[in-house]
Structure formats: C-alpha cells, structure tokens
Amino acid sequence: MSTLPDFHGLRGYYFEELKVGMQEVFSRTITDTDIKLFAGVSGDTNPMHLNEEYAQSTPFGGCIVYGMLTASLISAVIGTKLPGPGCIYMNQTLKFTAPVRVGDTVYAVVRVKELFADKKRAVLDTKCYVKDTVVIDGEALIKVPSQQG
C-alpha cells in the first residue's frame, strides 16, 4: 500500500487508499497538568475545570475535563493516523454525552463512514470513550490528498 511521502516518519493515506470501515484509535490518560496547560493555552478559566471546591457544588460533584481538550484527541487521530498528515479538517460535530475526569483514559476512535470521490472527501465517525462509556459522539468531514493531485 503506497502512502504519502515520509516526512520524518509522518505518513498519511491518499484518498484512493481509504475504505469504508477503516478505523484508528488514539488514547491518553488525562492529567491535572493537561488541564492547567489547556487553561493557559485556551484562556478558559471556568472554575468547573480548575476549582474543586466550586465544582463540588455543581451537578458533576467535582472538576471535569474540558470537553474541547477531550475532543482534541479526535484531531490527533485524524491529523496523525487516519487519514493522517496532508488532510484538511472541514467540519466537526460534537455531542458531549458524559463527563471526563482527571485520571480517566480517553480512547478517541475514528472510523471511515463515507467517501466522496468527486471532491476527495471523507466523512468520519468520531467517538471518544472512557472504558465502555461514550463521552463524545460526532462526525467529521475531511478533505484528503489524492494520488492524482
């Protein structure tokens, strides 16, 4: 199977190599440091994510991980594995279905759902799990490089 040129170990699939049902996974255990770094980068200092005393007074009963931090793991799969380097994110829907807590291991799963040969685009099913619980459910539209240019 040919792939895009190898740029220091980074490879991606050409559109012609994709098949419906192809799937890749990326996992990460979320740490307190991740939360603090995300707060600094994003500027989002919502106490729901940073202040345990405040968060205990909410329906979640404690701090939860930023939804967009969790969703960024989907981007990791798309940008590095499937379809990988060279693809362009065009759209992403996200439904946050359950909270993620510091210490949880999140599994981002991306599966090719539909292919549009005329525009070299792929619709991807995007989900994040903690154990067997879906914490994010969504769909992405990606433009994928073609072997035909």
For residue 123, what pLDDT band results from cuts at 50, 70 and 90?
Answer: very high
Please write down the HEC assignment for all residues of 49-113. HHCHHHHHCCCCCCCCCCHHHHHHHHHHHHHHCCCCCCCEEEEEEEEECCCCCCCCEEEEEEEEE
The reply to whether the predicted model has a pTM over 0.85 is yes
Q: How far apart are CA 103 and CA 28, in angstroms?
A: 10
Q: Report the C-alpha gap between 116 and 134 in whole angstroms.
A: 27
Backbone phi and psi for residue 24, each to the nearest 5 degrees, phi listed first: -140, 160
**How high is the pLDDT of residue 11?**
66
Class assignment of domain 23-143? alpha beta
Read off φ and ψ for residue 30, nearest 5 degrees: -80, 130
Is there a contact between 100 and 64 (Cβ–Cβ < 8 Å)?
yes
Mean pLDDT of the chain: 93
pLDDT tens sequence across 91-104: 999 999 999 999 99
